[in-house]
Structure 1
């Protein structure tokens, strides 16, 4: 009597196989969902990092070009430089170089509120390099703004016309605006327009 009851309360081999098959399907679906979630988080993090880099680049250029000063500088060799240099955007070359106003002096150092700033593309990374003094000083460590840059194109507006390079007739001449078009790996071109303090 007890043997028959134990047999009736057990599972057949077919029932066990069906249960294991359903468990396998549910487990596979759970793993796929978890993997999709992780991949989505990774992709979102990469996009947010790219966007924050672009915003950082925009903020730096807006702040610097918005306070540009018609002040020629001198390099470490003492050679006189124009107040604004603007290249075409070749990798490794100096892109733009100028002197800006409004450099905060929280430490009370014996220095001017003017600051010389360079932007250049180095191995696919857009860098901002500043100098502690306008004339004859060595550059401070560069700040990396955007990585994965494939190409950069620059244009300069003056007297209602756009130029591919900045070739001023006067050492103190400044552009009215600077257009930057940057192509980042895996992303289309990003075009930004910056007004200088000349037009402000």
Structure 2
């Protein structure tokens, strides 16, 4: 008598195939999880870099449009100030008067506004007053977080100095050197030209 063979798979073959498919599915899920985590990590790093780039753009715009106008509350001579100045606010990083305010941003139509940068806790704040002599802190904008150190100094005739004193032939320094230490990026050193530089 002839034995009939059945077509199909045995139970053992089916279990082995299911195990292989389960391993492939688990590997695929792990790869998807890693790629999603990587995506969020890249997004967070991109946002942090964008914050630094926005901060640099604001600083560059403010410093490049600084004008030789004495600051309020000073000695009536100094157009730029840092915390190194006598009697300055200890949170002050840089104070200046800038032009190019645009329509409606300045109070008196002069095109001049007062700008101050302060380090408050771990935040670098930009304070904008509608007039250079306006009282109060003005509009406060947080331009960077995670800042542990922020120091500004001035470069005039190739010399780096913490306090700028205007002279007859040089009413403004050539540049502002800004040294920041950020939790994410570590030390950042920026040299920002005033006006068109020399």
Q: Residues 29 and 82 of structure 1: is their aligned pair in 2 closer, same or farther, counting only changes over 3 Å?
A: same
Q: Equivalent residue of 1:69, what SS?
A: coil
Alignment of 1:33-112 (within 5 A): 33-74=31-72, 82-87=78-83, 93-106=91-104, 110-112=108-110
* Cross-structure match for 2:87: none
Q: Residues 185 and 101 of structure 1: is their aligned pair in 2 closer, same or farther, counting only changes over 3 Å?
A: same
Structure 1: gaps (5+ residues):
none
Distance in 2 (CA, whole Å) between partners of 1:42 and 1:113 is 42
Runs (4+) of structure 1 exceeding 4 A deviation are 78-81, 106-110
CA contact under 8 A between 1:174 and 1:198: conserved in structure 2?
Answer: no
Distance in 2 (CA, whole Å) between partners of 1:153 and 1:38 is 39
TM-score normalised by length of structure 2: 0.81
TM-score normalised by length of structure 1: 0.81
2:178 to 177, 180, 190: 180
Q: CA RMSD in A?
A: 2.7
* Cross-structure match for 2:119: 121
CA contact under 8 A between 2:155 and 2:176: conserved in structure 1?
Answer: yes
Structure 2: gaps (5+ residues):
85-89
Give the number of equivalent residue pairs: 188
* Cross-structure match for 1:32: 30
Distance in 2 (CA, whole Å) between partners of 1:139 and 1:153 is 20
